[in-house]
Amino acid sequence: MSAYQIFTDATADMNFSLPAELPAVGFIPMKLEIGGREYTYGPSGTISAGEFYALQRAGNFGTTSQINPTVYSDCFEPCLQQGKDILYLCFTSGMSGTFQAAQLCAGELQEKYPDQKIICVDTLCASIGEGLLVQEAARKQGEGCSMEEVGQWVMEHRLQVCHWFTVDIFDHLRHGGRVSAASALVGTALQIKPLLHVDEQGRLAVMEKPRGRKRAIAAQIARMEQGWQPEISSSIVIGHGDDPAAAAELKEAVEKRFPQAKIDVAEIGPIIGSHTGPGMLALVYWGKNR
């Protein structure tokens, strides 16, 4: 079986590390702008999540862009030169053109390195949901599965990653065009914490409009009750946008209702955070109600 390297991108919000027993995953850095400056987020990046949210709380809005093809080349070529194949698990095409850009770059590199294989998979997942899927893919690699087997497994299971999240303020959804100015104004006045999810096309969709954080967390727990399938995996991830207290509250609620759950808590990074803002709270699990 040929040696291969799994890559994903900075949207996966995995804090750029995996359990020591799993094969290493390569992370593609991503660019963002905030406060009039450009930064890189990812391993050896130029901004941390904490620094980013401090800029947001000071009144700045972040903007993001898809990965430049030269960045892919810089990350992929060293592996190809070592004779390794590449499996790239990409941020959902439902929210970005990154997957299309990756395919173009992969095609060019494939011509340059005809003896190597590059497989790009659209995860249809985002943030910690993407991270949960990538972690399981790395586990499959560690068990000895071939690159083709892992890629096929991801394709077959990507829609079983269920994302349910709330945002604390509407400003950043409005700035990114996710909600209208009128909806943002009304939502803020009524203290609505919209419950969103990533649908089967990998796009954001608003599902409920609970008022207040406690009701929002109750709505997240209710969704997990409806669809969680621990027989796939009992691993779940709670993500937060610079709000560890809210993450602790959600974690306590999950532990109380699902004591068998294996819970990891992760910080939502600047790429996703540019669109959701500080206070975002996410619950991701393996289930049937994507």
Cβ neighbours for 143, distance < 8 A, ≥ 6 positions apart: none
Provide CATH code, domain 4-159: 3.40.50.10170
CA distances from residue 220 to 45, 92, 102, 264 in whole angstroms, order as listed: 32, 22, 33, 16
Digit-coded pLDDT (tens) for 198-231: 999 999 888 888 888 899 999 999 999 999 999 9
- Start and end residues for every CATH 3.40.50.10170 domain found in the chain: 4-159
Give me the tens of pLDDT residue by residue for the chain, a chain 290 residues long. Answer: 679 999 999 999 987 567 788 899 999 999 999 999 999 999 889 999 999 999 999 999 999 988 988 999 999 999 999 999 999 999 999 999 999 999 999 999 999 999 999 999 999 999 999 999 999 999 999 999 999 999 999 999 999 999 999 987 666 565 565 555 545 444 554 467 888 899 999 998 888 888 888 999 999 999 999 999 999 999 999 999 999 999 999 999 999 999 999 999 999 999 999 988 899 999 999 999 99
| Residue in 84, 30, 196, 81 with CA at minimum distance from that of residue 129 | 196
CATH class of 160-286: alpha beta
pTM summary value: 0.91
**Residue 223 token pair:** 């969704």
**Residue 285 token pair:** 């699990």
Distance separating the N- and C-terminal Cα atoms of the chain: 34
- Start and end residues for every CATH 3.30.1180.10 domain found in the chain: 160-286
Pairing of strands 118-122, 85-90: parallel
